Each structure stands twice: as C-alpha cells, then as structure tokens.
Amino acid sequence: MSVLPFDPARSAAYREAAGRVRAADEAAAAAELDLLAAEVRRSIVRTIDRARMGHIGGDLSVTDILVACFYGVLSVDPERPRWAGRDRFVLSKGHCAAALYSTLAHCGFFATAELDTFMAPLSALNGHPNRIKVPGVETNTGALGHGLPVAAGCALAAKIDGASWRTFVVLGDGELQEGSNWEAAMAASHHGLSSLTAIIDRNRLQQGARTEETNALGALDDKWRSFGWEVREVDGHDHLALMRAMSGSHTGRPVVVIANTIKGKGVSFMEDRVEWHHKVPSPDQVEAALAELAR
C-alpha cells in the first residue's frame, strides 16, 4: 500500500494556524489552540465510534499535548513528510493512534475522510501507527517502551550529523514500567542529547488500574533528574504551558516534560475513569460526548 497523499487545503490551513499560534499574543494563541483541540477531540470520538474500537481515554488525555506540539512547536511540512530538516515526532504510546491520526489529518498530512477507515481491513490507519503507510509517522509504535529508545537514536543521529532538527517523543506513564525506557534515558543523558524532548502523558491510569496500584512510579521528577535529565512539570491541558515546556534545553541535557493530564479529558463521564482505557461509547454516549466537546 502506498503512503497516503497530503491534503492541500488542510495543509495550507495548518500553516496559517501554526503561524498565528506562534506569532499571536498569548490570549489569542490560547483561544485558537483550545478550538483546535476541541476539533481534534470531536474527530477522535467520531473515529472510534465508527470503528467500534480504540483507546479513547488515553486519546483524549494526550490531545492537548499533540495539538500544542504540532501547532506550536514542531517544524514539519505535511506536503514534505520526509523533509530531511524536519523535527522528528514519535508517539511511543502507539495504542493512542486515533489521537495522532486525528491530529495529522487536521494538519493536512492526509485527508480527514481517511479517518473513516480507522481499523478497517487493509486500512493504512490501523490500531498502531505505521511509518510505511501514514505520513507524519516516524516509527511504528505500540509495543510499549520502544518509542524513547528510537527517539534517542534519532537525536544521536542529529548530533553526529551536526543537524539542527529536534526530536520529540510522547510516552504514557504506565509505559514507564518498561525497563527499556530507563536504558534509553541513561544513554540519552550520557550522550548529552540536548535536542531530545520527552513528554509524559501523566494521567495516572493504565489498563485495569491506576499506575501507582499496578507498579508505583513514585516521584517521576526525581527519577528523571537522577538519570541526568532537565525536568519540567506542567498542566498537560494548558497549551501555552506545554509550548513553553517544550522549548529547547537550558542545560545541555535532554529535557523531560511531565504533563499532568486527565484520562478522558473533555468528556465528563469518561474523565479519570479506568474503564475508558479501552471502552467504546454507545451511540447515546457518543452524542453526549460530542455535545460536551461542542461547548
């Protein structure tokens, strides 16, 4: 299957919106990002409703991180998804593919109509992102714990080449129970990968239970500092705070942003409820969710 083509109209609209967000005063930027995030969340709900599959709770918790990153920080071009000078973005928590697909479609990497095919047989938009089929996807993810090691490799390649592009990776907090993350964190610090930024979607829930009940993560800020990272902690639903936190390293060390979020954010009956990790809303719940997200 060939890579999905970009959407010219959406791509142009993305460039204009990203330009406004980065040039506007903070109040105007915050208002625009709020509207964009609500639009992406509505797409997520519709996409999962049509497929009758997905991870809606985590999709909704990570949305503000994705919107802030793509519209406010990343240097990317939907019309040239393999442009050599692009920033690299890795969604390590690949089971939240619907959130990434919705964001990429709204940015024009491919047509929003493709979201209708999510999880369908032979669709490019399968349950975990595939770099061969979907523009804007840097690496296949979903096997948890793999994204940060890949992102560290990207950042190391940039350092070796003397390139100016940056690497961003979004991890789930439950995913941090995988040891490969800590191997990568140690290596990134050792190699001084200051162009690497990791963002943790810290919603404190994973499949079946809270993270602290499953395998306690404890004080994440202290853990990352002990591994030699520059640590920033923010409200993961505050777009401007996220944008500021994703600015470059001040210390020459890799940066980790601990983004405190709410699973199911934006839909009251899903918020902070573990059952919405992998639950699909009924038609009535879809209607209620879309009504909330339209306010």
Q: How confident is the model at residue 2 (pLDDT cuts 50, 70, 90)?
A: low
209-210 and 196-202 strand pairing: unpaired
Interval 255-278: pLDDT, tens: 999 999 999 999 999 999 999 999
Q: Is the pLDDT of residue 24 over 90?
A: no
For position 142, what pLDDT does the model report? 87
Q: Once rounded to an integer, what is the mean pLDDT over residues 100-112?
A: 98
Residues facing 88 on adjacent strands: 167
Distance (Å, whole) CA 255 – CA 264: 26
33 in Cβ contact with 88 (< 8 Å): no
Query: For residue 30, what are the contacts with CB-CB under 8 A and spacing of at least 6?
Result: 239, 240
Q: What is the DSSP string of 54-66?
A: S-HHHHHHHHHHH
The residue written with tokens 């770099």 in the block is 131
0.85 cut: is pTM over it?
yes
For position 295, what pLDDT does the model report? 79
Interval 68-86: pLDDT, tens: 999 999 999 999 999 999 9
For position 37, what pLDDT does the model report? 98
Q: Once rounded to an integer, what is the mean pLDDT over residues 11-39?
A: 97
For position 150, what pLDDT does the model report? 98
Q: Once rounded to an integer, what is the mean pLDDT over residues 147-169?
A: 98
Query: For residue 77, what are the contacts with CB-CB under 8 A and spacing of at least 6?
Result: 83, 86
Interval 171-215: pLDDT, tens: 999 999 999 999 999 999 999 999 999 999 999 999 889 999 999
Instruction: State how far the alpha carbon of 267 is from the alpha carbons of 44, 62, 215, 229, 289, in Å.
Output: 12, 13, 27, 34, 6
Q: Once rounded to an integer, what is the mean pLDDT over residues 145-152?
A: 97
In a 10 Å sphere around its CB, with 0-12 CB exposed, 13-18 middle and 19+ buried, how is residue 223 labelled?
Answer: middle
